[in-house]
Amino acid sequence: MPYATASDGIRLHYDVFGRRDGEAVLLIQGLGTDSRGWALQRRAIGDHYRGIVFDNRGVGRSDKPVGDYDLRQMAEDALAVLDAAGFESAHVIGASMGGVIAQIIAVGHPERVRSLILACTGCRHLSWRRELLEDWAAVAQAQGMRSFATRNLRWLVGSRSLRRFWPAFGVLTTIAISAPSQSFVSQVHAILDMDDDLRLLLPTVTAPTLVLVGSQDILTPQADAEEIVELIPGAELAVVQGGAHGFMVENFATFNRLLLDFLACASAEQEDHVPGIERRANRA
């Protein structure tokens, strides 16, 4: 069972899968969610790439320290996992809070990011979302994670799917309540403590970037995705019709297709910039 060690000694559980000769793809999950949140992406990515998934500090089989968490430290955690897996760089995919962590990596460590995919995420605080997260932390702390998940699943799943497929989303509830309430609250506070410096630095991102959003996402709506696209030079936007915040589960086939199409283009673009490959192309 592989573990990476963070700069402060925290152990981070990770798993490597897929093609041994494939380019590395690092996947970073969101608030309160462990690496099981990528279950429906593993086969699609593994058929073509070398995937790395891990549990953020506070969830899954990673350590769950008591006290304050920091998103910049969690970005360093992700890089520690990449190091432990033996890769200097990777295509980086981040969802929700993981999308913010991925942005921090792309801004602070551009040499580690081959391409960037940001799903259901934002780059700054909005007053209503800050109030919502504060309420989430209060409910989790006072009433526990099961109460939090029961009350707030509607923020993650589209209303139509919630009515039609309620039993199928039991897996989301299980994942959502698996984190201890103190770890969940610490992750929430890490998000709330994020300042505006990240947003101001997004124009410096050099990696090819795709921003994904569901048309029914009410937690990080399309306007959040559009703002990121406007800030990152050359970034592309893809809107998944009918998708909500958890669209990597709810609309996984479309989500996976968009991932693979973008990764293929990003990989081809990088190969075109390798001198040896350019010379062979010219001779042809």
Q: Whose CA is closest to 102, among 27, 170, 176, 37?
A: 27
- CA–CA gap between residue 110 and residue 127 (Å, rounded): 30
Per-residue pLDDT, 160:
53
Q: What is the DSSP letter of 41?
A: T
Per-residue pLDDT, 250:
85
Q: How far is CA 194 from CA 107, 209, 223, in A?
A: 14, 22, 19
Q: Please tell me the CATH code under which domain 3-283 is placed.
A: 3.40.50.1820
CB-CB contact of 212 with 225 (8 Å)? yes
pTM listed for this prediction: 0.90
Q: Which residues are bridge partners to 229 per DSSP? A: none
Q: How far is CA 282 from CA 14, 45, 270, 273, in A?
A: 42, 31, 16, 13
Amino acid at 113: V
Hey, is 177 helix, strand or coil? coil
* Structure-block tokens of residue 8: 């402060």
Domain ranges of the chain: 3-283
First and final CA of the chain: distance in angstroms? Answer: 47
Q: If you compute the radius of gyration of the chain from its CA atoms, what whole number of angstroms results?
A: 18
- CA–CA gap between residue 231 and residue 266 (Å, rounded): 19
Hey, is 180 helix, strand or coil? coil
Amino acid at 108: G
Angle subtended by helix axes 145-152 and 127-143, to nearest 10: 140
Q: How far is CA 64 from CA 57, 176, 188, 249, in A?
A: 6, 15, 14, 26
Label residues 270-282 b or e (16+ Cβ within 10 Å = b): eeeeeeeeeeeee
Return averaged pLDDT per consecutive 10 residues of the chain, 284 residues in all. 94 98 97 93 98 97 96 98 98 98 98 98 94 92 83 62 47 60 95 91 98 95 97 98 90 97 91 40 26
- CA–CA gap between residue 87 and residue 21 (Å, rounded): 12
- CA–CA gap between residue 14 and residue 212 (Å, rounded): 24
128-134: long-range contacts, CB 8 A cutoff, minimum separation 24: 129/219, 130/192, 132/219, 133/188, 133/191, 133/192, 134/188, 134/192
Concatenated DSSP letters of 121-174: --SS--HHHHHHHHHHHHHHHHH-HHHHHHHHGGGTS-HHHHHH-GGGGHHHHH
Distance of CA 134 to the CA centre of its chain: 21
